[in-house]
Amino acid sequence: MSEANISWGDRLSMWVGNKPKNSIDALPVRVHGQQFSTGAAPGSIKGFDQSLIWAIGGLLMWGMVMVYSASIALNDNAQSSGFSQTQFLIRHVLSLGIGFIAALLVFQVPMDTWEKIAPWVFIASIVLLILVLMPFIGKSVNGARRWIGFGFMNFQPSELAKLGTLLYAADYMVRKMDVKEKFFKAVTPMGIAIAVVGSLLLLEPDMGAFLVIAVIAMGILFLGGVNARMFLVITAILLVAFGLMIALSPWRRERIFAYLDPFGADYALGKGYQLSHSLIAIGRGEIFGVGLGGSVEKLHWLPEAHTDFLLAVIGEEFGLVGVVIVIGVFMWLTRRIMFIGRNAIAMDRVFSGLVAQGVGIWMGFQAFINMGVNLGALPTKGLTLPLMSYGGSAILLNLVALAIVLRVDYENRLLSHGGRV
């Protein structure tokens, strides 16, 4: 029989017959009514976005190195005496460990369960915001009462309030889909909830956290399909509210003036001190930086170098290249999270999609504010750089929120391949 007359079925039979015995189990293929094996191994389905895991892990590892670099000399400062060179690093690693354990547990929780408990998480965050204001419970640092001590770590309820508001807003939009075109019915309950949270945060005071929470809520309302005119009205109300908060607060006005002229004689040693030294640090770094560990500004010139102004130390030690890489990774991270949320909404899983996109808004906006402050583009605010700055409760809630996003992605992939959640 000539080779030209051999059918495709016979060719496959000949190939399968000569297949090594130890070869991989093949996928079945039916050709001309006969079933043969292709020799191709079944493709494995990854449970969640691997590239997202790598980006998160990269930011966490780089942040750990920079926290150590920024805090190693704190023991030499008279105001911070008593700290060892590795004390902040050890605490940061402990926070990462607790965060990883919490994230693994959270990943096991189905999104249907999160939808059911969303209002209770929000209520729990409000209770903690009230408790932190009570004497002998809340801890006051530099005039701000924002922490509750739990022995092994200080917990900041405003971080839980971000997650609680996010879950509540997503759940609220799902429940109120039928009235989202009616202004008062759709917005009033959500507006009251945000006003309560905002009032408690302003009593601490923590205007930065309130700003992030307001943007998260607004973003979810917008993505949930609230009428455009309604959205513009809410935005205008919030802008007026924040403007009045600044105008009626002398020390907030001082921060704005210091931001406009950080090197001025009236502000260089006062409200503009952090910003001016942050700009000096980034300026010293130039293009490629002075090298890891070579920062001078972290040696007691730049306050809060390991928390709010970690990016300034990165800019000094890694230069413009390092800052651009950090910005690029956060932009990609935010885009990827938003894409996961969009996929969930496309599969008619609105709550899951809004939660994922809310986390994207949270990470992206808070990173934008922190970077803007460090680069002198925005007035100074007490917001950390997500996943990188020192801070136990911030790291914990960041990892929990991202674990929820990974759960959304896992359920998306499972359902798209015919599985069940």
Would you say residue 44 lies in a domain? no
Residue ranges in the chain modelled with pLDDT below 70? 1-47, 75-83, 152, 177-186, 419, 421
Would you say residue 421 lies in a domain? no
Residue with tokens 């391949």: 417
Are both 13 and 75 inside the same structural domain?
Answer: no
What are 18-54's pLDDT values in tens digits?
444 444 444 444 445 555 454 544 444 556 788 999 9
* pLDDT for the residue numbered 395: 94
Are both 233 and 177 inside the same structural domain?
Answer: yes
Are both 200 and 314 inside the same structural domain?
Answer: yes
* pLDDT for the residue numbered 25: 45
Q: How many domains does the chain have?
A: 2
Would you say residue 181 lies in a domain? yes
* pLDDT for the residue numbered 80: 52
Would you say residue 108 lies in a domain? yes
The residues near 283 (Cβ < 8 Å, ≥ 6 apart) are none
Would you say residue 45 lies in a domain? no
Are both 12 and 134 inside the same structural domain?
Answer: no
* pLDDT for the residue numbered 158: 92
Are both 33 and 57 inside the same structural domain?
Answer: no
Are both 266 and 408 inside the same structural domain?
Answer: yes
Are both 258 and 284 inside the same structural domain?
Answer: yes
Instruction: Give the type of residue at 96.
Output: L
Would you say residue 42 lies in a domain? no
What are 129-138's pLDDT values in tens digits?
999 998 888 8
SS (H, E, C) 44-99: CCCCCCHHHHHHHHHHHHHHHHHHHHHHCCHHHCHHHCCCCCCHHHHHHHHHHHHH
* pLDDT for the residue numbered 179: 55
* pLDDT for the residue numbered 17: 44
Are both 33 and 74 inside the same structural domain?
Answer: no
* pLDDT for the residue numbered 79: 53
Are both 23 and 67 inside the same structural domain?
Answer: no
Are both 129 and 9 inside the same structural domain?
Answer: no
Q: Look up the domain containing 399 and give its range.
A: 50-416
Are both 379 and 407 inside the same structural domain?
Answer: yes
Phi, psi for residue 292 in degrees, rounded to 5: -60, 125
Are both 228 and 346 inside the same structural domain?
Answer: yes
